[in-house]
Amino acid sequence: MKITNKHNLPDAVFNFLSADNYTPGDNDYSATTLLRPPQMVQLEQRHWEELEEDAIDKVWSVFGSAVHNLLEHHADGTASVEERLYVDIFGKRIGGQLDYYSDSIITDYKVTSTYTLGNAGRMKEWEEQQNIYAYLMRENGKPVEKIQVCVFFRDWSKGKSLSGGKDYPKTPLMVIELPLWGMSEQEDFLKDRVAEHLWGEDFCDAFLPPCTPEDMWEEPTKYAVMKKGNKRATKLFTDKDEAKEFATEKGKAFSVLVRQGGRARCEQYCNVKNFCHQYREWKRVADGS
């Protein structure tokens, strides 16, 4: 992958952001890779040398890595820090690197936006990731009684914490305990993920297993029936004809406002979308071309 400098950052800043010190370890798939859509993983592997990313887009991932590195140097001497563990599933070597393990507790560090706290999809992903780590630990003879994430909110505001509602974090740092599954449930989940990725290996780009709406963070287009003068919708519909019929029944003061949906991950966070047949077809239809 080529790292660009479209914003003319100073050399020291550009070099800092573009340096890649991560080593994936001796595995075929990592825990984090398994949680990504197989189509995205395969396209990234196949087109890696053709991909570009601007240094400015790496700011928060590099910031997160820096936090990890600092915490690693302040860990309790009896704890296991940044430990790599492996298991073999369906002939593939699966690896994971745990941030911190002590007293049968796995702790993973996260640097993220305050928005994440109310994002059910992201919380589900954290739960799945930590349970993969727990399975790796258990398979390697180490007990796990609790899994948790230590979350640093990079955009936290004290003012918003006082008025931001129940989903806004009250502090800039939170420790969140996650549900710990039984070992059989962890194993079944891990096998399912490995099987999906193995399936993806067998297809050419045009026929890769498509990403699901959940994978793409898809929000459907909605049709809001609005009363003249009101800012809030009287009722929301996912079907345009139903919305029009409802508005007609309500009277002349009502109209239909289209709230365009989208695929946020594809449009904003997928670096292989230009190689993705599924995305290109969706974009063609969405643009009306």
For residues 186 and 236, state if they share a domain.
Answer: no
Read off the CATH number of the domain in which 31 is found.
3.90.320
* Residues 194, 229 within the same domain: no
- What are the structure tokens assigned to 257, written together? 């406002």
Domain presence at residue 213: no
Whether residues 54 and 30 share a domain: the answer is yes
Domain range spanning residue 164?
Answer: 2-205
Residue 289 has what pLDDT?
A: 61
Residues 104 and 243 in one domain: no
The residues pairing with 107 across neighbouring beta strands, listed in sequence order, are 100, 148
State the pLDDT at residue 166.
78
Give the span between the Cα atoms of 18 and 58, in whole angstroms.
8
Residue 277, pLDDT score? 97
224 to each of 228, 246, 264, how far by Cα in Å? 12, 10, 21
- Does residue 118 lie within any of the structural domains? yes
* CA distance to 34, 83, 216, 263, per residue, from 269 (Å): 17, 28, 10, 10
Residues 184 and 258 placed together within one structural domain of the fold: no
Name the domain count of the chain: 2
Per-residue pLDDT of the chain in tens (289 residues, 90 and over written 9): 999 999 999 999 999 999 877 777 889 999 999 999 999 999 999 999 999 999 999 999 998 888 888 888 888 878 899 899 999 999 999 999 999 999 999 999 999 999 888 888 899 999 999 999 999 999 999 999 999 999 999 999 999 998 867 779 999 999 999 999 999 999 999 999 999 999 999 999 999 999 999 999 999 889 999 999 898 999 999 889 999 999 999 999 999 998 888 999 999 999 999 999 999 999 998 887 6
Instruction: State whether 23 and 51 are in the same domain.
Output: yes
CA angle 40, 46, 49 (to 5 degrees): 110
Within this chain, do residues 174 and 223 fall inside the same structural domain, yes or no?
A: no
Residue 262 domain-assigned (yes or no)? yes
Domain boundary among 184, 205, 226: 205
Whether residue 192 lies inside any domain: the answer is: yes
Q: Cα angle at 280 between 277 and 286, to 5 degrees? A: 140
Task: Tell whether 276 is covered by a domain.
Answer: yes
Q: Where does a domain end: 205, 240, 270?
A: 205
- Does one domain contain both 36 and 97? yes
Does residue 197 fall inside a structural domain?
A: yes
* Same domain as 110, residue 8: yes
47 occurs within a structural domain: yes
Query: What is the structure's pLDDT at 152?
Result: 96
**147 is a domain residue:** yes
23 and 160 in a single domain? The answer is yes
Tokens representing residue 200 in the block: 């993806």
Do 108 and 240 fall into the same domain?
Answer: no
> Do residues 66 and 173 both lie within one domain?
yes
Calpha distance 46→277 (Å, rounded) = 14
What DSSP character marks residue 59?
A: H
Cβ atoms of 262 and 285 within 8 Å: the answer is no
Joined tokens for residue 53: 């990313």
